[in-house]
Homo-oligomer: A and B are copies of this chain.
Amino acid sequence: MRDPYNAFCIHTDARLQGAPSGPLQGLTFAAKDLFDVAGHVTGGGNPDWLAKHGPAARTAPAVQNLVDAGATMVGKTHTDELSRGIFGENAHYGTPTNPKAPGRVPGGSSSGSAAAVAGALVDFALGTDTGGSVRVPASFCGLYGIRPSHGRLPLDGVIPQAPSFDTIGWFAREPGLLARIGEVLLGIDVSRARRPRRLVVADDAFAIAEPATAAALRPWVERIGRMVGQTETRSVSSEKLATWLQHQSAFQGREAWGTFGEWVDRNNPRFSFEVADNFLRGKSIDDAAFEAARVFRAARRAEVAAWLGADTVVALPTTPFPAPIAGQPRSVMWSLRVPVITLTCIAGTLGAPQVNLPLAKVDDLPVGLSLLGAPGADDVLLGLAQAVS
């Protein structure tokens, strides 16, 4: 397969022919290399993981359901190592090219899936989103992308990271296809989804975006507000989003070490320095910090549930800026990472669904507007995304 964007893994020729009929008949897709395909090793973006694991016994249900619905899986795509990363830079396999922002990172960790869809190598692609790994590349690559409600889709056959945050998500170039995939995977009927009646503009989230990005998104927020009817500006939380991030990082990092720590200890794998740093931060989280993060998360869920019902959607910037320039020093990328994951940690903390709409550009670089709904309101978001676009 031609792959001008370094989107696809070359360690596997996994391919699954779509069923001859079904709602996705004739479409092609790619799956992030965290998804199992029977008979192939799932590489997880790390060569030592690849070398130390055998072929998968069965195909992940999410992949199989898409194939059964008629879509053909044409390959597996690059990911940040073991899904640890937000910019899509992989020290082992190279960083996929951002087809919509040359010289910029694609976003990650579902970097190859985003590049493959943005570059029109496939019609859609599966990713995963633990801390922003579908939403960020969707924003940076100008794609529709969804992180569904946590727990809505089982993660069987997918390399986990932090189970209480892990979700399966997907990318498409059109909101109609994004919704059709949702219908297949989530068993919903988007055409029958209720229309929200209230739009909340999250001013604490918008305050994190760079002014140019906030300004580029603003007209779309107003347009959606008019469609929905009622617009209200408020903060997501009485707590600073920086505090949300602090607890989410502790929670996710500790869970990720729980997932991978024993394997790492046994195998002393090669990671990029930043990925090792990430793991070690998670390893260092003590019981008290972990428990505090649990308590904080429960409190935020209760706080937000009080005003975020099924009739409400929240508008927020998906990322605070468009894709950064690739290849910058770690210290620079680390400082850019903080505001990015401050925004994405909102849905992660809440277990809420979030859809990126690729509506805006800043200096000709894509940057997305997000709609976030109450947990379970995936269909509401997918329906509104179609109506807006």
- Cβ of A287 within 8 Å of any chain B Cβ, yes or no, is no
Is A272 close to B, CB under 8 A? Answer: yes
Q: Looking at the complex, which one of B92, B264, B276 makes contact with A271 (CB distance below 8 Å)?
A: B276
Is A192's CB within 8 Å of the partner chain B?
Answer: no
Instruction: Give the complex CA separation of A269 and B266 in angstroms.
Output: 21
Q: Are A91 and B268 in contact (CB under 8 A)?
A: yes
- The answer to the question of A89 belonging to the interface, with a C-beta cut-off of 8 Å to chain B, is yes
* A187 close to chain B: CB less than 8 A: no
Cβ-neighbour of A329 out of B266, B276, B277, B331 (below 8 A): B266
Q: How far is the CA of A271 from the CA of B89 in the complex (A)?
A: 16
> Once the chains bind, are B271 and A273 in contact (CB under 8 Å)?
yes
Residues B273 and A264 in contact, CB atoms below 8 Å apart: yes
Asked whether any CB of chain B lies closer than 8 Å to the CB of A330, the reply is yes
Tell me whether A273 and B277 are in contact (CB under 8 A).
no
Q: Is A279 an interface residue (CB 8 A)?
A: yes
- A279 touching B269, Cβ below 8 Å: no
- Interface 0/1 of A257-298, CB less than 8 Å to B: 000000011101111111011011000000000000000000
Quick one: closest B residue to A328, CB to CB?
A: B266
Q: How far is the CA of A48 from the CA of B268 in the complex (A)?
A: 17
Task: Give the total of A residues in contact with B, Cβ under 8 Å.
Answer: 21
The oligomer's copy count stands at: 2
| B269 near A91: Cβ-Cβ < 8 Å | yes
State the CA gap A69–B265 with chains docked (Å): 46
* A329 CB contacts on chain B under 8 angstroms: 265-266
Which residue of chain B has the shortest Cβ distance to A333 in the bound complex? B268
| A79 nearest CB across to chain B (Å) | 16
Specify which of B271, B272, B273 is in contact with A279 (CB 8 Å cutoff): B273
Q: How far is the CA of A356 from the CA of B315 in the complex (A)?
A: 69
The residue that A273 contacts in the complex, of B89, B91, B268, B331, with Cβ under 8 A, is B268
> A81-95: which residues lie under 8 A (CB-CB) from chain B?
89, 91-92
User: Which B residue sits closest to A277, measured CB to CB?
Assistant: B280
Pairwise interchain contact B92-A270, C-beta atoms closer than 8 A: yes
A272 to B268, CA, bound (A): 6
Query: Hey, which chain B residues are within 8 Å of A270, CB to CB?
Result: 91-92, 270-273
CB interface residues, A 308-332, toward B, < 8 Å: 329-331
A330 to B269, CA, bound (A): 10
Say yes or no: A274 contacts B268, CB within 8 Å. yes
**Which residue of B has the minimal Cβ distance to A283?**
B277
User: A194 to chain B: closest CB distance in Å?
Assistant: 46
B-contacting residues, A229-276, CB 8 Å = 264-266, 268-274, 276
Q: How far is the CA of A330 from the CA of B274 in the complex (A)?
A: 19
Q: Name 6 interchain pairs, CB-CB below 8 A, sorted by A.
A: A92-B270, A265-B329, A273-B276, A276-B276, A276-B277, A276-B280
Q: A266-B330, A268-B274, A273-B276 are in contact. List 20 more A-B contacts (CB 8 A).
A: A89-B268, A91-B268, A91-B269, A264-B273, A264-B330, A265-B329, A265-B330, A265-B331, A268-B273, A268-B330, A269-B272, A270-B270, A270-B273, A271-B271, A271-B273, A271-B276, A273-B279, A276-B276, A277-B280, A280-B280
User: What 3 A-B pairs are tightest by C-beta distance, nearest first?
Assistant: A276-B276, A265-B329, A265-B330
